[in-house]
Structure 1
Amino acid sequence: MNAQHVDGVLVQWGERLFYPSNRIVKPLPTPRLDTLVQPKAAVIRQRIEAIVGRAPQVIVKVAGGGQGMSAIAAHFRYISMNGQLDIEDDRGVVRNGEDAVHDLVDQWRFGGSLIKNTGHRREALNLMLSMPAGTDAELLKKAVREFAQVELAGHRYVMVLHEHQANPHVHLSVRAEAISGQRLRPYMKHLNRWRETFAEKLRGWGIEADATRQAIRGENRAHEPLWRARDREAGVLRVHPSAPTAGPGTSRRRADAMLSWAHILKALSASEAASDRELARRVGSFIRDSSTFKEATHRRIGPEVSAPQDRTAARVNDRLEGRPGPGLDRG
């Protein structure tokens, strides 16, 4: 397979894998007319390298938010250790001490619609942005600062670096109401974008980081809700948590991701470039080691395969074993 054809396949299936809003795989572009194919393919190769190389995954958590100024003030005191740690606001002003915390509370209380001590709507959003142990804490803070300037523009926010625990992380508290009066209502699409932006800012400071969904990485882990983890640690969890199960949407996303990997693997394996074939070898190992692939192949009993990710696993396994694999080219 020549380089132009390989690039075309990588762009088609790489965009479907990494940018899931593109649900339809278009026909191969004509390389001589589409000058963007080669640079797009280079970006896809970089994403593949990061994933199969297991670059550290960024963590962006939404850890609740205050419904009144009393709760917001308590969070300010908690993240700053009662003013012992530096608090940086959206203007870049860095302060510490109890007086600084009191001033911030007054600024938030009166800076816009009045925030009463108690209320029934969320007036602040508490985020935590984290990286594994060993990450340069100061560079992490710089990346979070750039993240906030992009994603939280128009909102008041404060950030505090914590480097005294195992993983360095930054607490970021955001006022829900923007200067314009619009309110911040994050959804899953926002969280995915926030992770991607955070990873981009980290890479800009030379920190290896990636932000890909579990389905892309072939992982099946289900994270425990924060409220349940806190209640369990406090010894007040009364209901025994049941093992989470994947719904049809999750199964389809896993199947789509595995199918995209199958096409990418096929193209790289047939490439004339030795570097692509080496990347194909690493992609194959990555797929074999993924929990999605292992669980799907383990569930296969005889020729009948029911779940979509199981059917796709069978086709990917054919590719890994060097067999053509029926229906692979049909997607």
Structure 2
Amino acid sequence: MSFPKTYVDQMLLNWGDRLFHDPLRHVRAPRMSRGELRRDIQCMREQLARTLQRTPEVMVKITNKASGAQGMGAVRRHLRYISRNGKVELEDQEGMTMLGREALHDLTDAWHLGSWGIPEESRRREVFNVLLSMPPGTDRQAVRNAARAFAAEEFGDGRRYVFAAHDDEAHPHVHLTVQARGPDGKRLNPRKQDLQRWREQFAWQLRGHGVEANATRRLARGETRRYPKQAVVHMTARGETAHYWRSELDELARRALWDAHAGSLEAWQGVVHAMAGSQSADDRSLAALVTDFVQTMPVQRDRPGTGRTDRNEGARRRTSSRERGLRDAERSETQRALFPDDPDVWMER
């Protein structure tokens, strides 16, 4: 039995939304025109193609999310860091460039003494330091141009910001420092969903500047690589052992990872089902590509039960309901530890 194109497109939108976008609950979907529907279908197919081709993923990181007071003293230190004490050019929201220690001093004075000025000491976060990064080999000028366009799109409502592009590391990246308070007095309060939207916007700007870039969630790609928290990194550098960090996955961690990916794997299965039954030969070929993509995901390699004997399986089945409840609670705690947030959407610990 083959499916008509309209059915395949609708199923692709349905399952694709589950893969690539956060679900919206208790919201009635607006009626869409045919033109809007065709545009969304085309965007979804392009997103699917980029993911299957393993297009480089953008990374967005808020580097001071977990820090405490952020008065002007902390802002000065950060601006000195991203400008390499005046040696790296800064660019502000008006497109004005600043170079040198004197220009840096004038900038910090303007932020400190201007309207909605930043106090010398503050209990609230006065700026957000955002890092926009791409893998090594990406055109550095394109990254800078895309970051400029991204900042203007997201914060071009009169909010003050500056950014600096660093060329001294393999990963092309831009440091963007944005004032928390806008011209209307409202303060930025980004959440994880906002950072994912920032990733998508930055990737879109990169594509507009000729750089192939993608912004999918790790669960959609079946990624299981874990990143240690900064505290663990510093402990390891000091030669200390972190008791709650293991580089190797145990059975409990494998099961938590597998459970976390269950929704994405189901969505991929839905995409395969729709494409495999399509009247289009191209769609059927795409279904085969999706199947290969899913089968080679890292989560398949790290799936639970690897090397477990039948005797162990029988013992697991005989576990009492109370023990299963305790195990599930422990697994949930492990899952929260494994996925505090998406490493592509980092808020520095």
Q: TM-score range by the shorter chain?
A: 0.7 to 0.9
What is the DSSP-based 3-state SS (H/G/I as helix, E as strand, rest coil) of the residue aligned with 1:296? coil
1:279 aligns to what? 286
1:139 aligns to what? 142
User: Which among 160, 165, 168 is matched to residue 161 of structure 1?
Assistant: 165
Shift, 1:165, TM fit: 0.7
User: Which among 100, 107, 111 is matched to residue 110 of structure 2?
Assistant: 107
The aligned amino acid for 1:280 is A
Counterpart CA distance in 1 for 2:239 and 2:128 is 25
The aligned amino acid for 1:40 is D
Counterpart CA distance in 1 for 2:81 and 2:127 is 15
CA offsets 1:88-108 (integer angstroms, 9 cap, x no match): 011110110001110110111
Contact 2:236 2:242 in 1 (8 A): no
Shift, 1:171, TM fit: 0.6
User: Which among 184, 188, 192 is matched to residue 188 of structure 1?
Assistant: 192
What is the total number of aligned residue pairs between the two structures?
A: 300
2:151 aligns to what? 148
Counterpart CA distance in 2 for 1:232 and 1:127 is 25
Stretch of structure 1 that moved more, 114-123 or 80-89:
114-123
The aligned amino acid for 2:23 is S
What fraction of aligned residue pairs are identical, expressed as a percent?
35
Contact 1:158 1:172 in 2 (8 A): yes
Counterpart CA distance in 2 for 1:247 and 1:119 is 43
Shift, 1:5, TM fit: 2.0
Shift, 1:111, TM fit: 2.3
CA offsets 1:148-178 (integer angstroms, 9 cap, x no match): 1122233211100001211110011111111
Contact 1:7 1:38 in 2 (8 A): no
1:20 aligns to what? 22
Counterpart CA distance in 2 for 1:103 and 1:280 is 58
What is the DSSP-based 3-state SS (H/G/I as helix, E as strand, rest coil) of the residue aligned with 2:61? strand
Gaps of 5+ in 1: 308-331
1:60 aligns to what? 60
The 3 A distance-change label for structure 1 pair 163 and 268 is same
Counterpart CA distance in 2 for 1:250 and 1:112 is 48
TM-score, scaled to structure 2: 0.77
Counterpart CA distance in 2 for 1:102 and 1:234 is 35
What is the DSSP-based 3-state SS (H/G/I as helix, E as strand, rest coil) of the residue aligned with 1:262? helix
Counterpart CA distance in 2 for 1:178 and 1:247 is 44
1:120 aligns to what? 123
Counterpart CA distance in 1 for 2:115 and 2:192 is 27
Counterpart CA distance in 1 for 2:191 and 2:153 is 17
CA offsets 1:242-299 (integer angstroms, 9 cap, x no match): 2498799986652111111001011112222222122112111110111223333655
2:273 aligns to what? 266
User: Which among 225, 229, 238 is matched to residue 221 of structure 1?
Assistant: 225
Asked if 1:7 is matched to 2:14, the reply is no
Counterpart CA distance in 1 for 2:255 and 2:130 is 29
Asked if 1:255 is matched to 2:262, the reply is yes
Query: RMSD of the alignment, in Å?
Result: 3.2
Shift, 1:80, TM fit: 0.8
The 3 A distance-change label for structure 1 pair 34 and 23 is farther
The 3 A distance-change label for structure 1 pair 212 and 96 is same
Counterpart CA distance in 1 for 2:239 and 2:183 is 39
The 3 A distance-change label for structure 1 pair 241 and 117 is farther
1:46 aligns to what? 46
What is the DSSP-based 3-state SS (H/G/I as helix, E as strand, rest coil) of the residue aligned with 1:51? helix
Counterpart CA distance in 2 for 1:139 and 1:264 is 33
Counterpart CA distance in 2 for 1:145 and 1:227 is 32
Counterpart CA distance in 1 for 2:242 and 2:269 is 41
